[in-house]
Amino acid sequence: MRETVRRAGRATVQLALAVGLTAFSFAFITVLLITAIGTVAAVGIWLLPEAVLLIRRIAGAKRSMVAGWTGQEIPEAYQPITGPLRDRLRIAVRDPGTFVDGRWMLANYAYGCLGLLALPLWLAALPVDGIWCGLARRRQPLVLPLISRLADLDAAWSTALLKPSPKALLAKRVEQLTQTRAGAIAAHSAELRRIERDLHDGAQARLVALSMRIGLAKRAYERDPAAGRRLLDEAQEHAEEALAELRHVVRGIHPPILTDRGLAGAVRALAASSGLDVNVQAGELEDGPRAPVAVESAAYFVVAEALTNAAKHSGSRRAGVQLARTRNGLRVVVRDDGKGGADGRDGETGGTGLPGMRRRVAALDGTFAVTSPAGGPTVIEAELPCAW
């Protein structure tokens, strides 16, 4: 009984909010009318995009209200209204989201006042449920649940009306893919440039120097054997340095141990050489099936960067890495108990790695989150979707 009353109370608040929002959007009709008249008169045409933006906000408020009641988010799909007036107008009119919002608003004028019924229902509930439960000793009240039903009804209709069309969701997805693909291509070519520069400045230069030393040693071979020997020593040093640099470049392209041992083994090796006390939990990744190469490589990159950051900036001596296979992908969590305060924004100083990690994860359509309150701890989470 108490539970029913509490639920009815919550429903009433929900309905009252709905009524309030409806009342607000009634008032908004005036704005719409002015816009319409203005548009016809071609003076207030700039008002149109602003009006659309306002409608978006009202619809957004409704979405979050409904989500608060049902516990289920209603996705939204809008095209950003930006650029010069002409573009803004075009987007405002042609965005399918505008149509969805308009349709909902019109319908809401009709059903939005449903909530007003809550008042008479409460009045009826007091005597009816009072007698039903109090005198007839029944468990379930009759009228109070109707108020919840009313809120359910409001939520169901709003969900149906506010849900973006498949086309709009698709458009949003295309937009997102375009962005991440551009990011991935940019990151890829930056990576190629870095490799090219590393090879050019490093191994290539060393090999030139090595060849020169051998040439000189050949000349000195008969005239000055001691000098020849010295030149050969130098040549060998250059060859060894070139090899060391090539090894370094190869590790940067694709860590060999990742190929050999898979993600769990490679992360353990990272952990061992990080200089931190790292607890690695790899669960069924230990010897289960392996994720696609791109996913393993991105996950390895995230762990490597996160551990490097932790060792350099967190001031912490301990860290934890969790790798887990999820229903539709791979989940990577790296935490340290350091001093926190890492944010992905400062590109130059503390967090060089964070934007890189974010980009790398986004390119695979994954999600990336950093929580690092001042005082710590820092937790970096990445979810990489993939089929296993």
Partner 1 sequence: MRVVIAEDNALLREGLVLLLTSAGHEVVAVAAAEPEILPALLAHRPDIAVLDVRMPPGFRDEGLRAALAARRQIPGLPVLVLSQYVEEAYAAELLGGGASGIGYLLKDRVGRVEEFLDALDRVAAGGTALDPEVVTELLTRRRGTPLDSLTPREREVLTLMAEGHDNTTIAATLVITERAVSKHIGNVFLKLGLPPTDAGHRRVLAVLAHLNNATDR
Helix (H, G, I), strand (E, B) or coil at 76: coil
**Candidate segments 29-37, 267-275, 287-295, 323-331, binder of partner 1 by CB under 8 A:** 267-275
Q: Which helix (H) or strand (E) holds 3?
A: helix 2-40
Structure tokens at 32: 């719409």
Instruction: State which of residues 261, 290, 331, 339 lies at the interface with partner 1 (CB under 8 A).
Output: 261
**Preceding amide of 289 cis, omega within 30:** no
In the bound state with partner 1, the residue whose beta carbon lies nearer, of 124 and 269, is: 269
Q: Does 274 bind partner 1 (CB under 8 A)?
A: yes
Contacts of 209 (CB under 8 A, 6+ apart): 238
Contacts of 284 (CB under 8 A, 6+ apart): 325
Minimum distance between the CB of residue 205 and partner 1, rounded to whole angstroms?
18
In the bound state with partner 1, the residue whose beta carbon lies nearer, of 268 and 325, is: 268
**Of the candidates 24, 18, 20, the residue with the CA atom closest to the CA atom of residue 55:** 24
In the bound state with partner 1, the residue whose beta carbon lies nearer, of 151 and 242, is: 242
Number of shown-chain residues binding partner 1 (CB under 8 A): 22
Instruction: State which of residues 243, 253, 293, 369 lies at the interface with partner 1 (CB under 8 A).
Output: 243
Minimum distance between the CB of residue 275 and partner 1, rounded to whole angstroms?
5
Report CA-CA distances (Å) from 129 to 18, 69, 113, 158: 25, 24, 24, 29
**Candidate segments 121-129, 207-215, 221-229, 233-241, binder of partner 1 by CB under 8 A:** 233-241
Contacts of 85 (CB under 8 A, 6+ apart): 45, 46, 49
Minimum distance between the CB of residue 158 and partner 1, rounded to whole angstroms?
56
Instruction: State which of residues 83, 130, 166, 256 lies at the interface with partner 1 (CB under 8 A).
Output: 256
Minimum distance between the CB of residue 240 and partner 1, rounded to whole angstroms?
5
Q: Does 247 bind partner 1 (CB under 8 A)?
A: yes
Partners of 381 in the β-ladder: 333, 369
**Positive or negative: CA dihedral 356, 360, 362, 367:** negative
**Candidate segments 37-45, 48-56, 150-158, 239-247, binder of partner 1 by CB under 8 A:** 239-247
**Candidate segments 2-10, 157-165, 246-254, 349-357, binder of partner 1 by CB under 8 A:** 246-254
Residue that is written with structure tokens 């409460």 in the block: 122
Composition of the chain by helix, strand, coil, percent to 5: 70, 10, 20
Positions 281 through 340 that interact with partner 1 (CB under 8 A): 317
Return residues touching partner 1 (CB under 8 A): 236, 239-240, 243-244, 247, 250-251, 256-257, 259-261, 265, 268-269, 272-275, 277, 317
